[in-house]
Structure 1
Amino acid sequence: MLKLALFDCDGTLVDSQHAIVAAMAAGFQAVGLTPPPSLATRRVVGLPLVDAVARLAPDGSDASLHQTIAEAYKQAFYRNRLAGTHPEPLFDGLLEALDRLEAAGFLLGIATGKSRRGLDATLTHHNLAHRFVTLQTSDRVNGKPHPDMVYEALAESGADAAGTVVIGDTTFDIMMARNARVASVGVAWGYHDLSELRAAGADRLVDDYAQVPDALADILANKVPQ
């Protein structure tokens, strides 16, 4: 059985909250609106960009406004990346965890609300692109919590659903996994509380990256076929 560890990116692999909050503020300012509070922006990280904007926009605003804000967000994010004003550092322990997972026979993949261009830039910056056999982004297929990114990752990697675990920091990640009928691990260092991840149905919760490989091994050792 081919095993797949399918990671979220923002809030799970990299701490991108400052970059996202700054770009979202710029997007709202571009259309003359007051930016949403930073906490509100962090709450929607992981959703497809237009969906995230729609949750933050004033009641009654329409889809064309959401799209305009989203485009301004993308431009601001790109400018900030070029300027290096808001770095997206890796979370502590990530590289060691990836090494252990690969040594245990896991393929590695990503399913993220980032665009493919944004994900490629992040992975290139950290020299990580070669580590992942499948990269799924919400500008290519339906975003979280829809299961499409999991299905595409399974098809592209050849992994089995029974051997696949989603690792993420938001309820959107856990719901995507549940909708795809694969296991999930919720992480403590991201943008939603562990209590929310537990309530959403995470199979395991972890406090740091050192616990991730053992959590995946334990899930698969005890997984009941569905």
Structure 2
Amino acid sequence: MADMGASRSGDANSTFPSLVGVMRALARSILSCSVLENIISAFIVVDLERRQPMKKIMNVVFDCDGTLVSSHEAMLSTLQTLVSEERAGQISMDEVRAKYDADMLQCAKNFNLDFSNPERLLKRWSELSAQSARAMAYPGMSSLLQTLESSGVRLLVWTGRDRASTLEILKSADLLKYFEELVCADDITPKPHPAGLAKLLDGEDKSNCLHIGDSYTDIQGAKLYGIKSVGALWGEHAQKENFGEFIPEFWCDKPEQILKCLEL
């Protein structure tokens, strides 16, 4: 009997530590799960904070030449005629290409033009531009504008071209119908001064706005106004190095890539 009692006592003693071990293991498991859950939750919160979706863009401003339509060569030809008239002598297209600048004032300086009466030059520029106001929309541009319009995005144009030839060009490219408003060089202080953007986007939340252009003056103007921008690289002559110190938030090689920038 004593042996049996000893045996029973031994079994009980051996069983008790095992039960305690299981309970301790279970407690550690529960604690570990709780700690692990807290750690995972913390990482999820941090990741979500880092990956907050961009506020939906509701106002998109496009440049015209080199962004909406392919008209760079026609524009250079017009500039060649204007400079030749002003300097009373024919200049070569090579000189035009070398001295052209998207900033109108800088362009006039490059060609040593008298800019004391800018209204006169702009008027003549408008007359010459109207004579060659033909351009083709870039591939995919019409489809992009349709998608943006159907998504409720407000579409606008800010250009260094005069109003008359801008309207004619956009009509001929069948793009004018998409735009609510335009601001042109003869409407207000031209690029890169942000007055044009201020006029188009007056009262709008700047975080809801985006400007798309193919030159440094577009990006410079957008930065001066305080909105994000896209460097359009699908034009024949657009290159990143031509933007100089003015780097946009996004670069796009094709019009359809704009949708990714807007997360549409």
- What is the TM-score normalised by the length of structure 2? 0.69
| Other structure's SS at 1:108 match | strand
Matches within 5 A, 1:54-69: 54-58=108-112, 61-64=113-116
> Does residue 40 of the first structure (1) align with residue 98 of the second (2)?
yes
1:105-134 per-residue CA deviation (whole Å, 9 max, x = no partner) reads 311100000111111111222232221112
Q: How many residues matched?
A: 205
Do structure 1's residue 112 and structure 2's residue 159 form an aligned pair?
Answer: yes
1:62 deviates by 3.2
Please name the residue that 2:139 is paired with: 92
The letter for the 2-side match of 1:216 is L
Contact 2:122–2:162 under 8 Å retained in 1:
no
Whichever residue aligns with residue 180 of structure 2, its letter is: V
**Corresponding residue of 1:138:** 185
Gaps of 5+ in 1: 82-86, 219-226
Please give the alpha-carbon distance, in whole angstroms, between the structure 2 residues aligned to 1:151 and 1:217. 25
CA contact (8 A) 2:82 2:125 kept: yes
Which structure is higher in RCO with an 8 Å CA cutoff and minimum separation 6? 1
The partner residue of 2:220 within 154, 163, 175 is 175
| Mapped partners of 1:28, 1:196: distance in 2 | 23
Work out whether 1:76 is the aligned partner of 2:128.
yes
In structure 2, the CA distance between the partners of 1:65 and 1:4, relative to structure 1 (3 Å rule), is closer
- Whether the aligned pair in 2 keeps the contact of 1:28 and 1:69 (CA below 8 Å) is no
Letter aligned with residue 155 of structure 2: L
CA–CA distance in 1 between the matches of 2:240 and 2:57? 29
Change (3 A) 1:56 1:195: closer
Match of 1:100, SS? helix
RMSD value, Cα:
2.5
Further displaced range: 201-210 or 185-194: 185-194
Aligned equivalents of 1:2 and 1:63: distance in 2? 38
CA contact 1:24–1:35 (8 Å) conserved in 2: no
How far has the Cα of 1:138 moved from its partner? 1.9
Q: Which runs of 5+ in 2 are unaligned?
A: 1-55
Give yes or no for contact 2:69–2:173 (8 Å, CA) kept in 1.
no
TM-score by length of 1: 0.79
